[in-house]
Chain A
């Protein structure tokens, strides 16, 4: 314990109460620490750490209004203001470290429960400092990105069989995985598991299986881990990845949802939930997750202006689908946009996007005049400049106003304007009859091929699933719609009496009817299919 030279240490104390700061200051002075700084709120900690290296940061969890200790830690890591070599100790009056920590993704090096005593402070600081000294060569190598040296150091440490060997093993497992040394990682985790079924080792082994492509085994293990320890957050993330790799978006959403339930404070998981819910067309879940993302983003370094835009877009979709959105949404959107102008210092395009989205919400709530005013404001700002994201927001506003002709006119213009920009074309494809981007052309062709193969093999349900997935991405694609109708006909011939299938046929036909008129090249095919359905139904009667 005497190895630490306290005179050389620099320590930062962060607490909103001066009495606590003074108490801790006194304790540190008694230990011989002279280089002590103080901070009374989160901003101050972030500012001080940006300019100064502190060996130890003693940060209270509750820092008054604004950011708490976890926000601060998250931001310090995000900005690279601290590395593994700084010691961050969270201080809190909470009784359980799990309750405080499990709600977030980054863990402090240690956790001290209030009330703290001088002896406690000394013991914990000394333990951490000695540990840092032991692991320092490995940390330095990791900070340099030198995995080979890091793993050499860690191998020695993990074989030492002392109080640092487990810590070294945990790190070494991660380093092995990062190096692609899967066999070594597997051996390390297996050896740890021979002693006890420890969560970190089980998770590590599941990760190795996942990387190797053995998604079944990885999935089984991960499900078992979260079942036995429902608060072990990292396991949910890997489980969600696993389902995603298997192509099962519904289960991916479920895994993220469970993690979010345990840890509603994690903005990154809320974002992931919103995105996967969107892919699944689950508007209720998406709306809630986007709303929370915006709220959490106010204090988090991971909050962005795009989160706000995405939230308003989702609100518009919800309103359009008749989902009830609580509160005075228009007012909320207005305030939010003003806040973000202030917070993020928006450029011209972004301000225009704000107007367009405000307009879209107005249009969706029946305030047409207001919506047109917003459109005008955006047009005045952008003049003839074209930015793909703003343009798409404009199209959505026009569609919400019922101006389909103008929207289609602009779409044709945009296709021309961005003909050399693959990325922009990909964003436009959702609104086009035929995808314009290379990637999506290839994708539609592939899906169509697969679907037609299934159809030819009379696997109509599978074919429908295939076409439906593509329809979600390209809702305007007439060919896909007609393929769906044709697959339904195939199904109907097998079960001619099934009223559900008849209803599905009629709905699918109605969909196509909204997309094409008599002059469309696919119109004859549409008529043929429509007549065929009529014949089948009449035969029954």
Chain B
């Protein structure tokens, strides 16, 4: 007998359990949607509860997907499938995905994008970034979310703006990389979402250019503004 235990690769264990959790949350979300359709909320109180349920479940789902994606990125099995896509498709998908949530929480969501605007990117990865940012806005905005896209020079810029209180000053200075800074974790979030967004943006390159993200306050709605740049 020796003291050495068989070593387990903890990240693999985590990844596979995250995978299980994500599937469960997916089921939960689907049942929730059924429930809301079959027994619509009778009063404002009920509607609020549904919203909370749905929002939190979506958030867990989103975070788990991010974790899995980051794991795959680290394990270098994350494929980036860049192809030509129409921007309106990926943005409309995200509006549709969060349609019910937005409806029940009485937020108005608008989309501004030229129907013919197209660019080169991985539609699934960029879709999940936009999804996470929109979910985040649902939490902080007062009444409006605006998603837009346009070409700025060599980059495609996707913007998600809201009329909430905006991003705290500390985040504006360094949007990502906060993950390593343990002190910041206490202020309500790990900013895993932004770290994720930055990583995905970075994976998109063209010539010497690399994708990035940018946070601002103000914008057309006067709240937080998230910008995703893809070369």
Contact = CB atoms under 8 A, between A and B. Distances in A.
A232 to B, nearest CB: 8
Interface in B86-139: 86, 89, 92-93, 95-97, 99-100, 116, 118, 120, 124, 128
Contacts of B120: 195-196, 198
Given A95-B69, A96-B69, A123-B92, A162 B97 contact: no
B79 interface: yes
Contacts of B64: 95
B82 A198 contact: yes
Nearest to A116: B30
A231 interface: yes
Nearest to A231: B79
B22 A196 contact: no
A123 B93 contact: yes
A230 B78 CA distance: 9
B219 to A, nearest CB: 26
A23 B33 contact: yes
Nearest to A162: B116
A196 B82 contact: yes
Contact of A93 (B26, B72, B97): B26
Interface in A152-188: 162-163, 166
Interface residues of B, number: 37
Interface string B47-89: 0000000000000000011001100100001011111101001
B189 to A, nearest CB: 21
A102 interface: yes
B12 interface: no
Contacts of A117: 33, 96-97, 99-100
Given A117-B97, A119-B96, A97 B33 contact: no
A351 B82 CA distance: 51
Nearest to A198: B83
B37 interface: yes
Contact of B79 (A198, A200, A229): A229
Nearest to B127: A113
A117 B54 CA distance: 13
Contacts of A102: 79
Nearest to B22: A95
Interface residues of A, number: 32
B30 A115 contact: yes
A305 interface: no
A93 B23 contact: yes
B220 interface: no
B96 A123 contact: yes
B109 to A, nearest CB: 12
A196 B30 CA distance: 39
A195 B80 CA distance: 18
Nearest to B34: A23
Nearest to A196: B120
B178 interface: no
B27 interface: yes
Interface in B161-191: none
Given A117-B33, A196-B82, A95 B96 contact: no
A98 B34 contact: no
A127 B115 CA distance: 13
B22 A166 contact: no
Contacts of B68: 95-96
Interface string A11-30: 00000000110010010000
B16 to A, nearest CB: 13
A79 interface: no
A114 interface: yes
Interface string A198-216: 1110000000000000000
Nearest to A200: B83
B83 A166 contact: yes
Contacts of B192: none
Contacts of B37: 23, 26
A104 B104 CA distance: 39
A120 B81 contact: no
A19 B34 contact: yes
A223 to B, nearest CB: 17
Given A93-B27, A162-B116, A229-B79, A196 B93 contact: no
A211 B64 CA distance: 46
Nearest to A1: B92
B26 to A, nearest CB: 4
B206 interface: yes
Interface string A477-497: 000000000000000000000
B96 A98 contact: no
Contacts of A231: 77, 79
Given A97-B124, A123-B93, A229-B79, A114 B99 contact: no
A124 B92 CA distance: 10
A122 B120 CA distance: 25
A196 B96 CA distance: 30
A196 B26 contact: no
A413 B204 CA distance: 68
Interface in B19-50: 22-23, 26-27, 29-31, 33-34, 37
Max chain A C-beta neighbours (<10 A), residue from B68, B95, B97: B97
Contacts of A232: 79
A275 to B, nearest CB: 27
B30 A20 contact: yes
Given A95-B22, A117-B100, A166 B84 contact: yes
A195 B82 CA distance: 12
Max chain B C-beta neighbours (<10 A), residue from A98, A198, A231: A98
Contacts of B77: 230-231
Contacts of B95: 119
Nearest to B32: A115
A97 B79 CA distance: 10
18 contacts: A23-B30, A23-B33, A23-B37, A93-B27, A95-B22, A95-B69, A102-B79, A114-B26, A114-B30, A115-B29, A115-B33, A116-B30, A117-B97, A163-B116, A196-B120, A196-B206, A198-B82, A199-B81
Interface of A: 19-20, 23, 26, 93, 95-98, 102, 114-117, 119-120, 122-124, 127, 162-163, 166, 195-196, 198-200, 229-232
Given A93-B26, A123-B93, 18 more contacts: A20-B30, A23-B33, A93-B22, A95-B64, A96-B68, A96-B72, A98-B79, A114-B29, A119-B99, A123-B92, A162-B116, A166-B84, A198-B83, A198-B84, A229-B79, A230-B77, A231-B79, A232-B79
Interface of B: 22-23, 26-27, 29-31, 33-34, 37, 64-65, 68-69, 72, 77, 79-84, 86, 89, 92-93, 95-97, 99-100, 116, 118, 120, 124, 128, 206
